[in-house]
Every structure is written in structure tokens, then in C-alpha cells.
A = this chain, B = another copy of it.
Amino acid sequence: MQEKEIGIGLLGFGTVGAGVAAGLQQNGEQIAERLGARLVLRRIADLDLETDRGVKVAPGVLTRDAQAVIRDPGVDIVVELIGGTGAARELVTQALTLGKPVVTANKALLAKHGGEIFELADRQRVDLYFGASVGGGIPIIRVLRQGLIANQINSIYGILNGTCNYILTRMETEKLPFATALAAAQKEGYAEADPGLDIDGFDTAHKAVILASIAYGFFVPLEAVHVEGIRALSEVDIQYALDLGYRIKLLAVVKRSDAGVEVRVHPAMVPLDHMLASVSGVFNAVMVQGDLAGSTLYYGRGAGRLPTASTVIGDIADIARNLVGGAPRRFRAPARSSRRVRLKEMGQVESRYYLRLSLVDKPGVLAQITSVLGAHEISIASVLQKEVRTGEHVPVVIVTHRAREEQMDAALEKINALPIVGSGSVRLRIED
């Protein structure tokens, strides 16, 4: 049988780019057999032509000139792996404008400029795939766009940042403070020297915005997403959580209700018997609740050279099928819903809460706290007071029933102003 060849052009030859090149070399025969077309890596653009990436490419493939890749008539599919929102945005726009289908793994680009980029792809009737922007080696984007297409998505809960999950796992199993666990993650190569994007929750927020765009057809402005990272987490709360039957995870929550769609990122307490609580180390997982499928969960490596390459090549293969079949643009832009979707204000979000307060050790202090909570219509589920003294203050843990965020904000402000309350009050959300 004669085999079609589909030419691939890579923009960016870093970790993932080298993984894609390696994956195509390693499994090229098998992919061609499954696909009925051969994927040929024609050009790679990168500013650094020197570094050895551990993968050989034919002479003439590597160039400093991104334009030469995009405009090469032998390049049928452009794969953007540069990252960031500068050159990447420009090059993706150019490729789409030239009518070339694009694969990108760039979560920041889509979270910030997804609206405009998808609109361009729609106008040009060109394919734009972005599987590796969320979940690395887990094909969660494909599942949401295709496998679960028949479902109203009720909620998505994701552990989407391997760095944070690794740090939380180390903090729990070895009872380490945050800074020590972070340093360990950096030593293992799981955290950047400048870890802010990960540990402050922004990487997770980018991914939450992309998941929400597929589920609900609108791009939430990043500024509107409530984002808390794990930097302020104490190993003390991780242990209290365990005592209460929970594990603390950095969660992306995307959820619909009549009042609108919630998109938020913060540490949350997850019941120990929940599948998400079993996700440890650098692994990621996404739990999707659809009205037909019910709860489904997807688990795997959320980052890394080959896992990410696996998903990127999966996207390339899909576009190759479309090109071979002469039917491009199989998917509509996710953000073109005609229904009006509203973002739910964080103040309106409801959950149960875990509070750890530092109280003066005197009779009647707990009554003062409970009366403030009561005044804000927050009812208490349980109180935990261990005999641990920290000077004149004792730690008291309160678990509440469901309450609105704005009620809790107001109550906490009052509580923290009480003279019996020491500094460092902790508030965590419980997702049951």
C-alpha cells in the first residue's frame, strides 16, 4: 500500500520538542501502521542549535528561523512548543493565517488569548489541537471534547500540577514544612528555580480556564479566577486533615449551578476514600462528573518529556487523519457557545470549611467564636481541641457545615479582630 506522508514542523526544541522527535523515531513504524500515513519531522526551529537533546535529527532539519518552518511547503502541521505568550502567540497566529493546522501545548497562551486564537482557527477553517495543554500524558482534553460530548458537565475536579502534588505528598508522608519539601522538589528536578508559576497556583489556573472553556463554551478571564497556591500551607494542617479523614490537594474546581459557573484554584481537603486522595507524587488526575456518564476519572503523568510528547503526537495523528481524509476543521472552537454563561462570583461559592484558630486558653473563648459564626449563619459540624500548648494560645480546629464564601469572609474578619484570637488563622475548603 502506498503511504501518505504528513510533514511536521516543530517550533521549540526543548524538553517536549525533543520528546516529540524521540517518540516519532521510536514508534514511527507503529504509528504509520495504525494511522495509514507516515508522520515525517521536516523542520525544527530553536534559537539554540548547540545543546545535545539526546535525539538525532537529519541535517538541515534544525534551524534558527521559525518562519522557515512555518512557511516550508513540506510542513503540513505546525507544532508550537515554545511556551509563553510572546513569540508563540505570533507564530501560532501566522501559521493559522497561512491555513496550516496547529498543535500547541501552550496553556498560558490559550488561557490568556484562547478566545482570539480559536476565533482565527474557526475563520480560517483550520484545525487547532491543544491536548497537551492540560494533563500532560493524560488525554483529558480529547475525552472532554469527544468521549463525553453527549454530557452536560456538572463538575470537574483536577489535580493538575505535579510539582504541587509532589510537595504535598512529601509534606504529608515525611511531615516536612513547605520550604523543605519545595527544596526537595527542586533537587529532584520537579520544581523550577523560580517555582512561583506552579506553587502559587497560576499554572493550575491556566489549565482550569482551558477545561472550563471546553465544558461551558466560554473563556473565563484569568483575572476573574480565584487562585490560591500552596505556599502558605502548614504541615500541621496536613496532619489535622488526616486526623479528620481528609488529604489536602491543590484543586482546580470547575462547576456549574443555576447561579453560574465556578472556576477556582485552591488547596482543598478531599476525603481519604476519594480516588483523588490516592493521587500522590508528581501524578495528575481529573475527575469529571457528567449527567450521563456519571463520575469518571483520568490519571497519569501531568508533565515530562515523553508523556507530554505522547499527547502531542496523538493530536498530530488526529490532524493527519483529517488531512488525509480531506476533512479539516472537525472541531468547533470550544468558546463559541450561543448560550450565555456567567461566572459565579467567589463570594457566592459554597463549601464546608476547616478553620484552625489560635485561641487564648481561657474559659468561654470558644463561645465567642461560635457566636460569631452563628451570627453569620455558619453552623459547626465538629470542634477538635488537642492538648497542645503554644505559649498562652491553644490551637482549635473547627469544621463547619456548608456556608457561602462571603459569609465565611465576614465571619473570619470578625474572628481575627477578637482579642482572644492569635495570629495565623487558617481557613481551608472541604470538597466532599
Chain A contact residues, CB within 8 Å of chain B:
19, 23-24, 26-27, 30-31, 33-36, 131, 137-139, 142-143, 145-152, 217, 273, 275, 278-279, 290-301, 304, 306-307, 309-311, 313-314, 317-318, 321-322, 325-327, 329-330, 332, 337-339
Closest to A292 in B: B310
Q: A23-B150, A149-B35 are in contact. Are A296 and B330 (CB under 8 A)?
A: no
Q: A147-B311, A327-B326 are in contact. Are A300 and B296 (CB under 8 A)?
A: yes
Given A137-B294, A295-B300, 18 additional A-B pairs, CB 8 A? A27-B150, A27-B152, A30-B152, A33-B337, A33-B338, A34-B149, A137-B296, A138-B296, A139-B296, A143-B143, A150-B313, A275-B275, A275-B278, A293-B300, A296-B299, A297-B297, A297-B299, A297-B300
Q: Are B318 and A146 in contact (CB under 8 A)?
A: yes
Whole-angstrom distance between the Cβ of A175 and the nearest chain B Cβ: 18
**CA separation between A88 and B142, bound complex, in Å?**
30
Of all A-B residue pairs in the complex, the 10 with the closest CB atoms, nearest first, are A139-B147, A325-B327, A296-B300, A327-B327, A150-B313, A292-B310, A137-B293, A293-B310, A297-B299, A292-B306
The winner among A148, A149, A297 for most chain B CB atoms within 10 A is A149
Whole-angstrom distance between the Cβ of A283 and the nearest chain B Cβ: 8
**CA separation between A46 and B137, bound complex, in Å?**
42
**CA separation between A299 and B293, bound complex, in Å?**
11
Closest to A142 in B: B147
Closest to A323 in B: B327
Q: Are A310 and B27 in contact (CB under 8 A)?
A: no
Q: A30-B152, A142-B143, A148-B310 are in contact. Are A296 and B294 (CB under 8 A)?
A: no
Closest to A1 in B: B338
Which residues of the other chain, B, contact A31 by a CB distance below 8 angstroms? 149-150
Q: Are A23 and B307 in contact (CB under 8 A)?
A: no
Q: Are B139 and A148 in contact (CB under 8 A)?
A: yes
Whole-angstrom distance between the Cβ of A142 and the nearest chain B Cβ: 5
Q: A275-B275, A278-B275, A300-B297 are in contact. Are A150 and B292 (CB under 8 A)?
A: no
Q: A27-B151, A278-B275, A310-B290 are in contact. Are A34 and B332 (CB under 8 A)?
A: yes
Whole-angstrom distance between the Cβ of A147 and the nearest chain B Cβ: 3
Q: Are A293 and B275 in contact (CB under 8 A)?
A: no
Q: A292-B137, A307-B292, A307-B294 are in contact. Are A327 and B322 (CB under 8 A)?
A: yes
Which residues of the other chain, B, contact A294 by a CB distance below 8 angstroms? 137, 300-301, 304, 306-307
Which residues of the other chain, B, contact A317 by a CB distance below 8 angstroms? 146, 149-150
Closest to A311 in B: B147
Q: A295's contact among B143, B147, B301, B325, by CB below 8 Å, is which?
A: B301
Which residues of the other chain, B, contact A304 by a CB distance below 8 angstroms? 294
Closest to A280 in B: B273
Whole-angstrom distance between the Cβ of A299 and the nearest chain B Cβ: 4
Jot down 5 A-B pairs with beta carbons below 8 A, ordered by A: A34-B332, A142-B143, A292-B309, A293-B307, A293-B310
Q: A291-B26, A292-B27, A330-B325 are in contact. Are A150 and B309 (CB under 8 A)?
A: yes
